[in-house]
Amino acid sequence: MSVARVIVDVPSRDIDRPFDYTIPDRLSGWVEVGSRVAVPFGGRTLQGIVVGLTADPEFDRSRLKELIDVLDALPPLSAELVELGEWMSRRWVCPLTVALQAMLPSALKGKAEKYIALSYGQAWPAEELLADGGFRQLLEKGDPVKLSYLLQHYPHEADTIKRMLRSGALMETQKVEDRLSVRTVLTVFPGSEDVMRSGIAELGKRAPKQREALEYLLANPEPIPQQQLAEAVGTTIGTIKSLADKGWAEIRPVTEDRDPYAGRSFAPTKPMQLTPAQQGAYEPIAKAIQEERSEVFLLHGVTGSGKTEIYLQSIQTCLAMGKEAIVLVPEIALTPQMVERFKGRFGERVAVMHSRLSNGERYDEWRKIREGRAQVVVGARSAIFAPFGRIGLIVIDEEHETTYKQEESPKYHARDVAAERARLHGAAVVLGSATPSLETYSAAVGPYDKDTAAGRAWQPVYVPLPERVAARPLPKVSIVDMREELKLGNRAMFSRALAQAIEERLERQEQMVLLLNRRGYSTFVMCRSCGYTASCPHCDIALTYHRGSQNLRCHYCGYAEREPEVCPSCQSPHIRFFGTGTQKVEEALAQTFPGIRVIRMDVDTTTEKGSHEKWLTQFRERKADVLLGTQMVAKGLDFPHVTLVGVLAADSALKLPDFRSPERTFQLLTQVAGRAGRHELPGEVIIQTYEPEHPCIATVEHHDYAGFTEQELRHRRVLGYPPFGRLITLTLSHEQVPVLHTLGESFASKLRAKAEAEGVRQTVASGTGLSLEVLGPVPSPIPRLKDRYRYQCMVKYRGEVDAIGWTSAVLRELADAMKRSGVTASVDVDPQMML
């Protein structure tokens, strides 16, 4: 295998294929599938990932260039992850390098030089005594040695080094200047017993502190950080240094993991006796894990039904098999309380990964996983790429959350990646939620659509968990019709019912959460008298107000109409754009309820690292009466003294021009309703709306997931929206509109031609059978960004139609034309955000 097939890191469609390089002898022991390498490319040196090895290259070897270098001692990606990357690049139509780079911790993306050192406190392992003497001596000195130096001088020790890295005897680090690496701590290594005894004798009665330190080391002959030793014997660093100067001990820098949860203690917990309902849910999952079957489960349980305990026990089962587990949690729910539940059960075996960690911290956690020091990872979306080798279980909590879809390239969904990785590992997948996404839910329980069911890669087993653990009741939900309030002359933000409920809480010194869903405000038109909103006659999507042209537009199909002056439905002049923000609500609260203490949490108040947690802690300590905020107050919060949850203008999210708006609104309202009365005090939820009869609001009143889903699915089926049809959006951008038009048109017509050639029908709505239609090109929801215009085409299809493959083929056909005209294209397969 003397030729490496390399994907160079240039995220462009016309370079998206492997290039062959010969492997020089000095590197031959190092290069594996998944290695990161430096290669010559078009006169530059670029980084790339090895995706294959071959003895038989595509071109004459004499024309191939040589690999320049291997950048890490152990390949950062495994062959399995490379395979997963290849699958991702097909599934989400992105260049392979983009998929592969998404799996690397960012600390590994730079050019930082790698160092190899003997691990903390390790002696040379007995089974490696055959290693080259010079090489061994070099490392036994303890100082980190440049990887490039080892590659050059000990090429034949590649296997030894890799083996020792995998066993943890050696470790790989990066230089500290890059601030990516591992923190070093000056550590005292005690001399031999004889040396220390003679030191004590030599000191006699002089320098009592030095003597005391030596005695301490004699009694505890373990490496100890210099600072810690100084503190233990109550002396200065100087004293400790003089021990080293005299040769009785040695001080060396040692790298240390930065554990972001260091200093927090996690009370150990024992598995609970499962309730019969939990037991019924746990058993099939445990069975799949034990039989190493890659089965997907949908664990559908209301908040407080004990899902987390089921995750924990399933992980236990997985660990007992000697396997590893990945737990994905929405970024915002990755709070210390959440981490505590996993660390409390599995202690040191848990690694934590989320975006608030620094690059260095994340790199440490990543190494902990790769080196086998952690068997469980709890993390946000990208933790799905954790470098485990024997996965037995993948849990996705709150599986319906939009954060599991990455909105920049690669635009992957962690749920699908989980199913695919599980397939490669023979692992079980548990998708947990109180309000499963309609895609997941209908995949599990139907209604099946003959044509779409076949197009699904995975079909979950439905595991319901309908009751709360301690049979605590769900809170009482009341819906307030804001149109009635207006009729009675109340133009305030708070309905009479909500205002009264707030007064009562203030009197009783209980707490409340107020949710304002600000997203989408002022982009849609609504009548305050009757609740009418303008929607597209073709797509049934709210029309978006465009300030510039003062008209209302559908961003799916391009339909446009003039801005109305009176309500087309009831002729009221109270038709207007919404524009209330959290700040305005805060002011209104202060005015209406003098002395009220409010914590406001929104994008403006939570940008600083740790601020999110700071506000929540203050609220938990009852330093405020009201927690006011956007979506972020709805998720995963659990406060014993909250007895009132108020939702202001529930419709705002409902009217976003996205066909999933009702689903998101239902999920959000259900979730926020679950925040009240989780403990002894009973809870009450008040939802203010202009559209109380809308299914997604009316059903929240009775916590009726099934009722909502049934209506919503019926609606989606008619229009051919997911889960009945599937979507792909293509966004093109350029400085000039006509170029976009031309390219958009040729994309659409080429794709239509492919469909026609395959005998696929061209209307998706209200039909069955194979069909595909291309809508657009039309201006994107964000029609101009950074002086570039944006146009989009939307592909809508049903059944086993290879729309993804065709899209990708058409883009390859257009690659030249796009490059020449400077158009950039971005594809979103199964888009989650239509905005």
Residues found near Zn ion in the complex (CB under 5 A): 527, 529-530, 532, 536, 538-539, 554, 556-557, 559, 567, 569-570, 572
Residue among 435, 431, 407, 434 at smallest CA distance from 418: 431
Strand partners, 684: 476, 644
Please tell me the distance from the alpha carbon of residue 223 to that of residue 240, in angstroms, as a whole number: 13
From 423, 431, 326, 409, select the one nearest 80 (Cα to Cα).
423
Residues 641 and 511: beta-carbon distance below 8 Å: yes
Q: Rule CB under 6 A: say whether 173 interacts with ligand ADP.
A: no
Name which of residues 278 to 297 contact ligand ADP (CB under 6 A): 278
Comparing CB distances to Zn ion, the nearer of 569 and 583 is 569
**CB-CB contact of 149 with 113 (8 Å):** no
* Residue 667 touches ligand ADP, criterion: CB under 6 A: no
539 is in an annotated binding site: yes
User: Which residue number, 308 or 382, has a Cβ lying nearer to ligand ADP?
Assistant: 308
Report the partner that residue 274 touches, choosing among Zn ion, ligand ADP, none (CB closer than 5 to 8 A by kind). Answer: ligand ADP
Name the residue among 380, 387, 419 with its Cα closest to residue 402: 380
By CB under 6 A, tell whether 301 contacts ligand ADP: yes
If one asks whether residue 335 binds ligand ADP (CB under 6 A), the answer comes out as: no
- By the rule CB under 6 A, 309 interacts with ligand ADP: yes
Helices and strands of the chain, counted as H and E runs: 26, 34
**For ligand ADP, the closer CB: 75 or 636:** 636
Q: List, as one string, the DSSP characters of 748-759.
A: HHHHHHHHHHTT
Q: Considering the complex, what minimum distance in angstroms separates the CB of residue 264 from ligand ADP?
A: 19
Q: Are strands 224-225 and 376-379 parallel, antiparallel or unpaired?
A: unpaired
Residue 465 beta carbon to ligand ADP: minimum distance, rounded to whole angstroms: 7
| Member of 211, 300, 307, 425 binding ligand ADP (CB under 6 A) | 307
Q: In DSSP terms, which residues pair with 545 in a beta bridge? A: 552
Quick one: tokens of 102?
């998404």
Q: Does 305 bind ligand ADP (CB under 6 A)?
A: yes
- DSSP reduced 3-state for 186: strand
**363-387: b or e for each residue (b if 16 or more CB lie within 10 Å)?**
bbbbbbbbbeebbbbbbbbbbbbbb
Contact criterion met (CB below 8 Å) for 35 and 162: no
Residue type, 649: A
Asked whether 285 and 463 are in contact (CB, 8 A), the reply is: yes
Selected range binding ligand ADP among 90-98, 306-314, 331-339, 411-419, rule: CB under 6 A = 306-314
Partner touching 308 among ligand ADP, Zn ion, none, CB below 5 to 8 Å by kind:
ligand ADP
Considering the complex, what minimum distance in angstroms separates the CB of residue 397 from ligand ADP?
7
Name the residue nearer to Zn ion (CB basis): 355 or 549. Answer: 549
Q: Name which of ligand ADP, Zn ion, none residue 410 binds, using a CB cut-off of 5 to 8 Å depending on partner kind.
A: none
From the list Zn ion, ligand ADP, none, partner contacted by residue 216 (C-beta under 5 to 8 A by kind): none
Give the whole-angstrom CA distance, residue 170 versus residue 772.
56
- Residue 699 DSSP label: G
Which lies closer to ligand ADP via its Cβ, residue 353 or residue 430?
A: 430
Q: How far is the CB of 542 from Zn ion (least distance, A)?
A: 10
- CB closer to ligand ADP, 199 vs 306: 306
Beta carbons of 38 and 46 less than 8 angstroms apart: yes
| Contact call for residue 274 and ligand ADP (CB under 6 A) | yes
CB 112 within 8 A of CB 178: yes
User: For helices 438-445 and 705-719, what crossing angle results, to 10°?
Assistant: 90
570 binds, among Zn ion, ligand ADP, none (CB under 5 to 8 A by kind): Zn ion
- 38 interface partner picked from ligand ADP, Zn ion, none, CB below 5 to 8 A per type: none
Residue 569 contact among Zn ion, ligand ADP, none, beta carbon within 5 to 8 Å by kind: Zn ion
- Residue (104 or 395) nearer to ligand ADP, CB: 395
Check residue 304 for interaction with ligand ADP (CB under 6 A): yes
Alpha carbon distance 778, 794 (integer Å) = 9
The neighbouring-strand residues paired with 730 are 793, 827
* Three-class secondary structure of residue 448 per DSSP: coil
x-or-dash pattern for ligand ADP, window 456-475, by CB under 6 A?
-------------x------
The answer to whether 536 is a known ligand-binding residue is: yes
Task: Could you list the residues known to form a binding site, using ranges.
Answer: 527, 530, 536, 539, 554, 557, 567, 570
Chain contacts with ligand ADP (rule: CB under 6 A): 272-275, 278, 301, 303-309, 469
Task: Could you list the residues known to form a binding site for Zn(2+), using ranges.
Answer: 527, 530, 536, 539, 554, 557, 567, 570
